[in-house]
Amino acid sequence: MPPLNRPPTIYDHLGPITARKPIPLVNPIPAPYPTANFAGPSPYPSNFNPEQDCEILHKAVHGVGTDERAIINIIVNRNWAQRAEIRNCYKSCFGKDLIKRLKEDTSGNFKEVVAGMFMTPAEFDAMCLYKAMKGAGTKEGVLIEIIGTRTNQELMAVKDAFQREYHESLEKWIKGDTSGNFRNLLIALLQCNRSMNPNPDPNMCQNDAQTLYNAGEGRWGTDESTFIRIFATRSAAEMAMINDCYTRLRGKGLLKAIDKEFSGDIKRLLETVVGGLLDPAGYFAKRIRESVKGLGTCDSKLVRVIVSRSEIDLGRIKQAYQTIYGRDMLHDVRDDTSGYYREILTGLISRC
């Protein structure tokens, strides 16, 4: 995409926007998400012995007491595919589910990280969504974060994992726990029909920008269905160009238009879609900052972001955090956590 005339932003250091390509499914392991593109050699061992790791983990949880540092060492120093192999191997060696066994011998936030790191990313997202909707009330922020930022391939894997684990469709749960245009946009995103086009058509993007203006700022009231259609179907590269076209048209970008025209959960979801497509690292850096800023820590959000992004873009999130806030993310997470929970989180961050 040729450079567009616009003022520089604090996110420019993240490089040009490119559409994320679908990741082929890997069998028999259920649909992993893409792994990070590391600069240089992978930090994970290419040759490892899953049976040996299973023995270490078994000793760590067998008998009196738990060797938390042995668990941390294996989690931090193995990638998703290797941990999946360890999980399968453990059941073959000991006839027990590794995640269930680890949960029995760990507790609190440390347990949540350990269990999450041995799940597939799709299983972890499905579990977070289930917990957000189970029982009285709904944690809309979790739905917004996950459904609003995942790729087509990732959402398809999450839907499969949810159906497999909870024996009902994710879409059915979303319909039952949400309402109005917020629900409509969530359901539209779950259809996984977002374009993957990395080369936007300038005329189409200009037309989309004008259409969004006509549906929002250019009329009395807001045509929410137009925003839903465009935000659920345009690629990252297309949305970046639409945003630039809108800025040239109105002197402000889509986020300002959303802020003026929407409120509540639908506003937060639209903003998340824009952030997830145009600047995912900046979006998740903000989520981590929200988790550790001020008194107390939002541990559920912190765990969710670090576990789910650990092998996708946690390194870029760490860079974006430094650029946006002028602070070291590792330092802030270390200061807001303690014990083995701190050790595993900082280990994962340091590895990226």
Lowest-pLDDT choice from 15-19, 250-254, 298-302, 308-312: 15-19
State the pLDDT at residue 64.
82
- b/e per residue 253-266 (b: at least 16 CB within 10 A): bbeebbeebbeebb
Lowest-pLDDT choice from 41-55, 97-111, 119-133, 295-309: 41-55
The span from the CA of 234 to the CA of 194, in Å, is 5
Predicted TM-score (pTM) of the model is 0.86
280-351: CATH topology: Annexin V; domain 1 (1.10.220)
Mean pLDDT, the chain, whole residue set: 89
State the pLDDT at residue 147.
98
Report pLDDT digits (tens) over 181-209: 999 999 999 999 999 999 999 999 999 99
Sequence ranges of the chain with CATH classification 1.10.220.10: 50-106, 121-190, 202-278, 280-351
| Domain 50-106 class in CATH | mainly alpha
| Cβ count near 233 (within 10 Å) | 16
State the pLDDT at residue 206.
97
Question: What's the one-letter identity of residue 155?
Answer: L
Of the pLDDT bands very low, low, confident and very high (cuts 50, 70, 90), residue 28 is very low
Lowest-pLDDT choice from 31-35, 61-65, 176-180, 246-250: 31-35
Judge contact between 58 and 64, C-beta under 8 A: no
CATH value of 202-278 in 2.60.40.3880, 3.40.50.40, 1.10.220.10, 1.20.58.1880 = 1.10.220.10
Residue 27 clears pLDDT 60, i.e. is over it: no
The span from the CA of 276 to the CA of 284, in Å, is 8
> Is the CATH code 1.10.3720.10 the one for domain 121-190?
no
Judge contact between 235 and 19, C-beta under 8 A: yes
State the pLDDT at residue 119.
97
